[in-house]
Amino acid sequence: MSAVLQALPSAVEVRPLSAHIGAEIHGVDLSRPLPPDQVAAIRAALLEWKVVFFRDQPLSHAQHVAFARQFGEPTIGHPVFGYEDNHPEIYSVGRNRKQVRFSGPALVRPWSGWHTDVTAAVNPPAASILRGVTIPPYSGDTQWTNLEVAYRELSAPLRGFVDGLRGLHRFAAPQGSTASSLFDDKVKRRPLLTEHPLVRVHPETGEKSLLVSPTFLQSIVGLAPRESQVLLELLFEHAIRPEFTVRFKWEPGSIAFWDNRATAHLAPQDIFATEFDRQLYRVTLGGVPPVGPDGRASVALEGDPITAARAEQD
């Protein structure tokens, strides 16, 4: 798409940020119900650009959830790690949430930390909506990558090979680190292990994308351990090539809304080199089990599907 600025219904403006992924949307007020043409315009921009951003939208928890409901059914905040009191749809993304789960120096590789949300479940969220509240003056940017472009940029023989493969996704401590008793207890209470296709077909657009979530994807079914390791490392490295990505600088009141079926993202690590606080909140929209090019859907090996927030019983 060559236009720098796209004019869409009801004064909605979509401003692309990179060649393959990411656009800012202006001209909407997310604190109120949106007219149908604005909902349609945002949905179209999301499918086109994979992640869309809004500025100056200081929403409450209730407004955040109400905005999300216009695009799908919110899930429970997190199927393993819970949700905010009195707001079952809201998951807290705070500065130190992972530091209380793991200890010790993890093995750091170029793809460390990149992930697609909750792929350990058989039905990962269709989309995620993250709201910035307490934002540091610098550091703390988030990055996303377009996994449809990553798939298309593989060589034809490799695309043909990965089209038929499947991988195992689970929650586990990063290699080299030790899980805390809190992490172990929560994972044991609600274990999740799923076999997903390595390539999924988008249920709305029909496009193929890599379903490679480095944080959760542990191995490839049917390959020898070394074969699995080498192929996964190649795919992880390829999926996060800089030209496939966009980087977003948060401000208070910023919203990021991404298609979890076609992206992976990276939470910032540089925040831990500062003393700044950072607090965001996430709502996820219910998804369906991914389906591969061969028509086979994902299979839950342990655990239940992610439920809608209103159906959750703790």
- Residues labelled as active-site residues: 115, 117, 265, 282
Give the chain as a 3 state SS string: CCCCCEECHHHCEEEECCCCCCEEEECCCCCCCCCHHHHHHHHHHHHHHCEEEECCCCCCHHHHHHHHHCCCCEECCCCCCCCECCECCCEEEECCCCCCCEECCCCCCCCCCEECCCCCCCCCCCEEEEEEEECCCCCCCEEEEEHHHHHHCCCHHHHHHHCCCEEEEECCCCCCCEECHHHHHHHHHCCCEEEEECEEECCCCCCEEECCCCCCEEEECCCCHHHHHHHHHHHHHHHCCHHHEEEECCCCCCEEEEECCCEEEECCCHHHHCCCCCEEEEEEECCCCCECCCCCECEEEECCCCCEHHHCCC
